[in-house]
Amino acid sequence: MLIGDMAENASDELASRPFNLADIEEEELERLISITDDTVVILLPVPSIGSSNSHIDICDDLIEISWFAELIASVSGSVTAREDYDGSRYRTSYLLTVDRPGPGFGAAIRKSAILFNRDDDDGDDFQTRYADVRNEVLDYEDSLSERGCAAPEILESYYANLVGGAYNELRYEAPERYADDVAKFPERRVEFWKSAFSARIGAQCYTSCDSWLIPAAVDPDSVFLATDQQYRIGNFIAGQILTIANASYVIADGLVMHFPMSQYFKSRVCASFAVLEEDDSWPSEAFDWSDASFTCSPYREMLLAQMPEDARAPSPREAACLVDPNGSLVIINDGQFRHILYDTKSLQPTDVKQLHSIITSTSEIIATGIDGSPDLACDWSSLTDEDFEQLCYDVILTHPRFDRDTIRKHGKSRSRDGGRDIEVFDMPHRAGGARRKWIFQCKLVSGSGSLSASKVLDIGDMLDHYDVGGFGVMTSAPIDATLYDKLDAVCDRRGVEKLTLSVLELERTLARNPVIRERYFGTQTRNRS
């Protein structure tokens, strides 16, 4: 055999047969130490996995292995790590491939070997050297947030076991350590951590045991490639999120999946912590209301309407949803972050049928809001203007939003009341909140017409004169679009909240309150159908 062939075979042997630092003879250790400018594979066992029920023990093993990998990386061309599971013995280890070991490699191996052969010698010298190395490991653990990472596969596993398991033990065994950690890394309160793969991905990313949080500008494929996942964003399809009957789903091109709303909320909280880390971020609040979060705030919309258009914050973003066509992954893009959520699966056909039945039933309930109450129609022509104002008074009196001790009805119908049929203060929804004065106008409409803007006059002057915080219109007819537009323009400009009760809302209210209904209509109400 030629000399060159012998050298090549020796190199192949080094790359294919790993050195097990937990079971290595002195002669083999010397051989490992002497290797330079080649490729070598080192086996690093994690003895606690499969033998201990404590995540703290697992974290201790993983942080030692991570420290070793980073130490070797500092004296080598490069390192790569791969988890290796031996199913026959239920043992987990990491295979560390070291390329081009350089000066200092041998010394690093000899110093580190004591961690993996700690039972071979119990002399004083051994204990001293072991303690010195352990102190280096602990210093490394304390400075993780300030370091780069050459072998993120190992460190990510450490974080997963720390945040996803060890913290549950540390809360009781070492509460000060736990409190210090979550104070320094608040995202860990919701079981997220800054990913060790961030440098490889090219951006600061967060992950948990079943999700990722990445900046919206980052291509999800960079995460999939960095972590050896088979997903590719080009295969995903657009989806819609549906929340109904206390459950959440994703619907996409005939595919129906569970949507992990709880995990999404945790990811949103983590995103708020990520925003707070950016000193120059805007807005400065932890939760940006303008982000897509499947909600609507009428109060915020009212405040926004008072501002000049060029000074308003952007309108709420609509979350873009992509799903894996196999039903195993959902990605939500809220415009600032991508939430990659794994805790999902496709519904079985029987579950899809049940969901369809729920949607059908819900559609019928929604339909009642289109045409009033399906079971009740009142004979409004039987009421006088005074009767109708008194009915409106009773409806407001029983409304939980208003303070019944402050309600006042101004005079008889058509009296000179300055446009104030009923006046009342609302109940503050928070301790110390200011009460707001509301004015209601009551309009009984005869015939089949609607209540238009031309029948409700001088709204702006009245609001300014009486300094009110809320204005309401109650009518026995449908409300015309012209009146809705007028109320929006007049009230929003002044920061006055509005409440409209047309015949649809009034009949639904009366259907729920038979005492008031029978007081004014007796038993003359009829089935609408």
Which pLDDT band holds residue 369 (cuts at 50, 70, 90)?
Answer: low
Check whether 387 has a pLDDT greater than 60.
yes
pLDDT of res. 428:
83
Average pLDDT rounded to a whole number, residues 274-295 = 59
Which pLDDT band holds residue 7 (cuts at 50, 70, 90)?
Answer: very low
**Helical packing angle, 481-494 and 298-306, nearest 10°:** 70
Residue 438's H or E segment, with its range, is: strand 437-443
pLDDT of res. 62:
96
Amino acid in the structure at residue 297: S
Do 436 and 468 form a contact (C-beta atoms < 8 A)?
A: yes
pLDDT of res. 224:
96
Which pLDDT band holds residue 5 (cuts at 50, 70, 90)?
Answer: very low
Please classify residue 370 by burial: count the beta carbons closer than 10 Å to its beta carbon, then call 0-12 exposed, 13-18 middle and 19+ buried: exposed
Give 128-181 pLDDT, tens digit per residue: 888 999 999 999 999 999 888 999 999 999 999 999 999 999 999 999 999 999
CA distance 55 to 122: 26
Q: Where in the chain is the domain with CATH 3.40.1350.10?
A: 380-521
Give 468-512 pLDDT, tens digit per residue: 999 999 999 999 999 999 999 999 888 899 999 999 899 989 988
Measured CA to CA in angstroms, residue 181 lies from 51, 142, 157, 211, 340 at distances of: 27, 10, 17, 21, 25
Give 181-201 pLDDT, tens digit per residue: 999 999 999 999 999 999 999
Average pLDDT rounded to a whole number, residues 105-126 = 78
Q: Which of 383, 470, 380 is nearest to 420 (CA)?
A: 470
**Residue scoring higher pLDDT (373 or 101):** 101
* CB-facing half-sphere around the CA of 359: CA atoms within 13 A: 11
Would you state the structure tokens that stand for residue 371, as one six-digit string? 């045409």
**Residue scoring higher pLDDT (99 or 314):** 99
CATH number of 380-521: 3.40.1350.10
Bridge-based pairing state of the strands 497-501 and 470-475: parallel
Mean pLDDT of the chain: 86
Q: What percent of the chain has pLDDT over 70?
A: 84
Amino acid in the structure at residue 10: A
pLDDT of res. 418:
58
pLDDT of res. 279:
56
What DSSP state is assigned to residue 336?
S
Bridge-based pairing state of the strands 470-475 and 437-443: parallel
pLDDT of res. 2:
45
Do 450 and 482 form a contact (C-beta atoms < 8 A)?
A: no
CA distance 169 to 59: 12
Check whether 116 has a pLDDT greater than 90.
no
Report helix, strand or coil for 208.
strand
pLDDT of res. 289:
45
Q: Which of 25, 80, 277, 60 is nearest to 162 (CA)?
A: 60
Residue whose token pair is 């919309």: 301
Check whether 372 has a pLDDT greater than 80.
no
Give 388-443 pLDDT, tens digit per residue: 999 999 999 999 999 999 999 987 655 555 567 999 999 887 777 789 999 999 99
Check whether 65 has a pLDDT greater than 50.
yes
Do 116 and 44 form a contact (C-beta atoms < 8 A)?
A: yes
Would you state the structure tokens that stand for residue 53, as one six-digit string? 């029920």
Which pLDDT band holds residue 91 (cuts at 50, 70, 90)?
Answer: confident
Would you state the structure tokens that stand for residue 430, as one six-digit string? 């928070």
Would you state the structure tokens that stand for residue 385, as one six-digit string? 């203007």
Which pLDDT band holds residue 6 (cuts at 50, 70, 90)?
Answer: very low
Would you state the structure tokens that stand for residue 147, as one six-digit string? 């370091």
Report helix, strand or coil for 422.
strand
Comparing 15-19, 107-111, 416-420, 507-511, which segment has the lowest mean pLDDT? 416-420
pTM of the model: 0.77
Check whether 355 has a pLDDT greater than 90.
yes
Check whether 357 has a pLDDT greater than 90.
yes
Please classify residue 42 by burial: count the beta carbons closer than 10 Å to its beta carbon, then call 0-12 exposed, 13-18 middle and 19+ buried: buried
CB neighbour list of residue 212: distance below 8 Å, 6 or more residues apart: 195, 205, 206, 223, 338, 339, 340
Q: Which of 384, 383, 442 is nearest to 409 (CA)?
A: 442
CA distance 392 to 423: 11
**Residue scoring higher pLDDT (135 or 316):** 135
